[in-house]
Every structure is written in structure tokens, then in C-alpha cells.
Amino acid sequence: MKEFHIDISIQFFALEELPEADRSLIEQAKMMTSTSYSPYSHFKVGAALLLEDGQVFTGSNQENAVFPVGLCAERTAFFAASANAPKVAPATIAIAACNAEGFLAKPVTPCGSCRQALLEAETRFGRPIRVLLYGTEGVYVVPSMRALLPLTFDGSELV
Ligand code: THU
């Protein structure tokens, strides 16, 4: 038997410690929670995706009475970016979420489907997407989507 370890490094910052560009992106993600359509979960998620050329695309979770039809905030933002600026690489995504008590204290983390969708863009453009996960206690800064989804299925063996 052999064993191997996969290490990921996550930085935990106080909001004030982050550079202005990151704080601005987080602010946009927080603002986007107000556009969430979430009458079923009452869980409002906002995302702001900064592209390499400075454009920002935003999104919020959009639910439906047929539950699987709904979409997370991260993919709403990412698909808008990909549809409108298909040749520009994503650079950083900020995510924030609130429930009935307000913004979450612990940083919100993206679901597996959103990780998979964003990782494909990271692979396609050959550059990491930084991830800023907001919580009122502080912000996780993750260096790449791959760090959030090790041993991913990347389709490279599809023939
Ligand atoms: N949701 C997101 O938008 N992003 C996440 O990272 C986690 C979950 C949404 C999906 C659904 O509308 C609600 O939050 C509850 O799962």
C-alpha cells in the first residue's frame, strides 16, 4: 500500500487586510445577495467574477419550484461571463451568502458543481482562478479552483 497526500493552502484574512480590489469584489458579491431569488431555501448567495481584463460579471442564486432547475450564484455569474466575454480568462471570484440572520459568520464555500464548472475554465485558459470566500469573521483566500477540487474529472480521457 502506498499513500499520498494532497496539500491545499488557504489563507484566512481579516477583510481590512485585503487589497482594495479584493474588497471591492467582495462588496459586489455581498450586494448581489439582494438579487437572489430564493423563496424555497431563503438562503441568498451572491457572486462577483473578475476577468483578466478587468470586467466584472455578477450573479445570485436563482431557484425554481422544480428544485433542480435552480442555479447557484457562482455559475450564474460564470455563465454570464462566459457567454459575454468567452475569450477572457476569469481571474478571481468572490462569494458571499446570508440567511435570515444576516451574512454568514464562517466563509461560504461553493458546491461541487460550481467547482467543477469553474475548474474547467481554469484548465481551459491555463490560469488559476483565485477564490475569495466571505464570512463576517474573515475571508478565505484560495489560490485556485483546483485546490478546491483535487482529483477532478477533467474530461481529458474522453475520446
Ligand atoms: N447556493 C449557491 O448559490 N451557492 C453555493 O455555493 C451554495 C448554495 C444556493 C443554491 C440554492 O439556491 C441555495 O443556495 C440553497 O442551497
CATH for 132: 3.40.140.10
Residue 142 has pLDDT above 90, yes or no: yes
The protein residue with its alpha carbon nearest to ligand 1, atom 8, reads 72
Residue range 46-95, pLDDT digits in tens: 999 999 999 999 999 999 999 999 999 999 999 999 999 999 999 999 99
Ligand 1 mean position, distance from CA 123 (Å): 24
What's the burial of 7, exposed, middle or buried (CB within 10 Å: 0-12/13-18/19+)? Answer: exposed
The answer to whether residue 137 is domain-embedded is yes
The answer to whether residue 4 is domain-embedded is no
For residue 6 the three cell numbers come to 494532497
Q: How many domains does the chain have?
A: 1
Ligand 1 atom having least distance to the Cα of 114: 6
The answer to whether residue 90 is domain-embedded is yes
Cβ of 103 below 6 Å from ligand 1:
no
pTM for the predicted model, two decimal places: 0.96
What is the distance between the alpha carbons of residues 38 and 154, in angstroms, rounded to a whole number? 31
Residue 43 has pLDDT above 90, yes or no: yes
The answer to whether residue 134 is domain-embedded is yes
Residue 155 has pLDDT above 90, yes or no: no
Ligand 1 mean position, distance from CA 12 (Å): 22
Measuring CA to CA, which residue among 108, 111, 121 is closest to residue 81? 121
Residue range 91-106, pLDDT digits in tens: 999 999 999 999 999 9
The answer to whether residue 5 is domain-embedded is no
What is the distance between the alpha carbons of residues 152 and 92, in angstroms, rounded to a whole number? 20
The answer to whether residue 26 is domain-embedded is yes
DSSP 8-state class, residue 33: G
pLDDT at 131: 98
Cβ of 105 below 6 Å from ligand 1:
no
The answer to whether residue 6 is domain-embedded is no
User: Position 149: which residue type?
Assistant: L
The domain in which residue 26 lies consists of 11-149
Q: Could you tell me how far CA 32 lies from the centroid of its own chain?
A: 13
pLDDT at 85: 98
Q: Where does the pLDDT of residue 126 fall: very low under 50, low under 70, confident under 90, or very high at 90 and above?
A: very high
pLDDT at 153: 85
